[in-house]
Structure 1
Amino acid sequence: MSRRAPAGPGRRGRSLRTQLLAGLSAVLVVVLVVTGAVTLLVVDQVLVGQVDQQVRQEAAQTAQALGGRGGPGDGRQGGGPFGEGAQEGLNFLLFGLPVGSLGARVDGGTVTAATLQGASGGFPQADAWTDEQAAALVGVGSEPTTVDVPGRGAYRVVATSADGGQVLVGQPLAGTTTVLRELAVAALVLAAVGIAVAVLASRAVLDRGLRPLRRVAATATRVSSLPLDRGEVDLAVRVPARDTDPGTEVGQVGAALDRLLVHVGAALAARHRSETQVRQFVADASHELRTPLASIRGYAELAGRRSADLPEEVAHALERVESQATRMTGLVEDLLLLARLDAGRPLERDEVELPMVVVEAVSDARVTAPDHRWFLDLPGEDEDADDAPPLVVPGDAARLHQVLAGLLANARTHTPPGTTVTTRLRSCAAGAEVVVEDDGPGVDPAVLPTVFERFARADTSRSRAAGSTGLGLAIARAVVDAHGGSISVESRPGRTAFRLLLPWPAPADEALLPTAVRR
Structure 2
Amino acid sequence: MTLRRRLVLSIVALVVAVSAVIGAASIIALASIQTGAIDQQITGATHRAQRYLQQNQSGQPSIDLSRPSGQAAGTLTAYFVDGQVVIANVLDDYGRPSGIAQSSAEALGTVHVDADPETVDLGGGTGRYRLAAVNVGPAVLVVGLPMAPVYDSVWKLFWVVISVVAAALVAGSAVAAFVVRRSLRPLERVAETASTVARMPLDRSDALDGVRVPDTDPRTEVGRVGSAFNRMLGHIAGAMQARERSEQKVRQFVADASHELRTPLASVRGYAELTRRMGGDLPKDVVYAMSRIESESIRMTSMVEDLLLLARLDEGREIQLDEVDLTGLVLDAVNDAHAASPEHVIEIDVPSSPVVVLGDAARLHQVIVNLVTNARTHTPEGTRITVGIAPADGGVDLTVRDTGQGIDPEFLPKLFERFARADSSRSRTVGSTGLGLAIVDAVVQAHGGSVEVASVPGDTVFTVHLPMDPAAAAAAASASDVSADWSGTPAAVDATH
Question: Smaller-chain TM-score range?
Answer: 0.7 to 0.9
CA distance in structure 2 between the partners assigned to 1:452 and 1:508 by the alignment: 24
CA distance in structure 2 between the partners assigned to 1:373 and 1:235 by the alignment: 48
Provide, for residues 449-496 of structure 1, a one-character-per-residue CA deviation record: whole Å limited to 9, x for no partner: 121111223363455652221111111010011111111112222222
Tell me how far 1:17 sits from its aligned partner. 2.3
Residues 433 and 501 in structure 1, CA contact (< 8 A), matched pair in contact too: yes
Residues 431 and 503 in structure 1, CA contact (< 8 A), matched pair in contact too: yes
Provide, for residues 278-311 of structure 1, a one-character-per-residue CA deviation record: whole Å limited to 9, x for no partner: 0000111112222222233333333434677555
CA distance in structure 1 between the partners assigned to 2:422 and 2:106 by the alignment: 101
Equivalent position to 1:63, from 44, 50, 65 = 50
Partner of residue 112, structure 1: 86
Partner of residue 493, structure 2: none
Partner of residue 229, structure 2: 257
The reply to whether residue 139 of structure 1 matches residue 126 of structure 2 is no
- Find the residue that maps to 1:467 and give its secondary structure: coil
- Find the residue that maps to 1:120 and give its secondary structure: coil
Partner of residue 176, structure 1: 150
Partner of residue 305, structure 2: 333
The reply to whether residue 376 of structure 1 matches residue 363 of structure 2 is no
**Residue identity in the other structure for 1:74:** Q
Partner of residue 254, structure 2: 282
Q: Which moved more, 1:412-421 or 1:462-471?
A: 462-471
Partner of residue 148, structure 1: 121
Tell me how far 1:435 sits from its aligned partner. 1.2
The reply to whether residue 74 of structure 1 matches residue 64 of structure 2 is no
Residues 322 and 360 in structure 2, CA contact (< 8 A), matched pair in contact too: yes
Q: Which has the bigger relative contact order, CA under 8 A and spacing at least 6? A: 2
Partner of residue 37, structure 2: 50
CA distance in structure 2 between the partners assigned to 1:312 and 1:509 by the alignment: 55
Tell me how far 1:508 sits from its aligned partner. 9.9
Partner of residue 167, structure 2: 193
Partner of residue 92, structure 1: 67
Provide, for residues 335-357 of structure 1, a one-character-per-residue CA deviation record: whole Å limited to 9, x for no partner: 11111110111222221111111
Alignment of 1:24-39 (within 5 A): 24-39=11-26
Residues 444 and 459 in structure 1, CA contact (< 8 A), matched pair in contact too: no
**Residue identity in the other structure for 1:25:** V
Partner of residue 124, structure 1: 98
Provide, for residues 356-392 of structure 1, a one-character-per-residue CA deviation record: whole Å limited to 9, x for no partner: 111111222222222222221112x3xxxxxx3x421
Unpaired segments ≥5 residues, structure 1 = 1-12, 76-84, 382-387, 511-519
Equivalent position to 1:478, from 411, 431, 442 = 442
CA distance in structure 2 between the partners assigned to 1:372 and 1:63 by the alignment: 129
Provide, for residues 233-271 of structure 1, a one-character-per-residue CA deviation record: whole Å limited to 9, x for no partner: 424734333332222222222222232333322222222
Tell me how far 1:187 sits from its aligned partner. 1.1
Q: Which moved more, 1:365-374 or 1:234-243?
A: 234-243
Partner of residue 388, structure 2: 424
The reply to whether residue 298 of structure 1 matches residue 274 of structure 2 is no
The reply to whether residue 468 of structure 1 matches residue 432 of structure 2 is yes
- Find the residue that maps to 1:114 and give its secondary structure: strand
Gap change, CA 1:301 and 1:491, over 3 Å in 2: same
CA distance in structure 1 between the partners assigned to 2:168 and 2:256 by the alignment: 77
- Find the residue that maps to 1:302 and give its secondary structure: helix
Tell me how far 1:448 sits from its aligned partner. 1.1
CA distance in structure 2 between the partners assigned to 1:321 and 1:506 by the alignment: 45
Tell me how far 1:275 sits from its aligned partner. 1.0
Alignment of 1:226-241 (within 5 A): 226-229=200-203, 232-235=204-207, 237-241=209-213
Gap change, CA 1:458 and 1:373, over 3 Å in 2: same
Residues 447 and 473 in structure 2, CA contact (< 8 A), matched pair in contact too: no
Residues 484 and 502 in structure 1, CA contact (< 8 A), matched pair in contact too: yes
- Find the residue that maps to 2:93 and give its secondary structure: coil
Partner of residue 164, structure 1: 138
CA distance in structure 2 between the partners assigned to 1:66 and 1:439 by the alignment: 122
Partner of residue 8, structure 1: none
Query: Identity over the aligned pairs, expressed in percent?
Result: 45
Residues 205 and 238 in structure 2, CA contact (< 8 A), matched pair in contact too: no
Gap change, CA 1:292 and 1:109, over 3 Å in 2: farther
Provide, for residues 409-467 of structure 1, a one-character-per-residue CA deviation record: whole Å limited to 9, x for no partner: 11112222222222220123421111112222222111111211112233634556522
**Residue identity in the other structure for 1:26:** A
Residues 74 and 163 in structure 1, CA contact (< 8 A), matched pair in contact too: no
Q: Which TM-score applies when normalising by structure 2?
A: 0.87
CA distance in structure 2 between the partners assigned to 1:251 and 1:508 by the alignment: 42
Residues 235 and 261 in structure 1, CA contact (< 8 A), matched pair in contact too: no
Q: Which moved more, 1:216-225 or 1:367-376?
A: 216-225
Residues 489 and 498 in structure 1, CA contact (< 8 A), matched pair in contact too: yes
**Residue identity in the other structure for 1:186:** V
Gap change, CA 1:326 and 1:122, over 3 Å in 2: same
The reply to whether residue 20 of structure 1 matches residue 2 of structure 2 is no
- Find the residue that maps to 2:462 and give its secondary structure: strand
Provide, for residues 22-45 of structure 1, a one-character-per-residue CA deviation record: whole Å limited to 9, x for no partner: 111111111111221122111111
Residues 407 and 436 in structure 1, CA contact (< 8 A), matched pair in contact too: yes
CA distance in structure 2 between the partners assigned to 1:40 and 1:344 by the alignment: 80
Tell me how far 1:206 sits from its aligned partner. 2.7
- Find the residue that maps to 2:121 and give its secondary structure: strand
Provide, for residues 82-139 of structure 1, a one-character-per-residue CA deviation record: whole Å limited to 9, x for no partner: xxx5xx344222x5433322222233344333211112233334xx512x32332222
Gap change, CA 1:214 and 1:509, over 3 Å in 2: closer
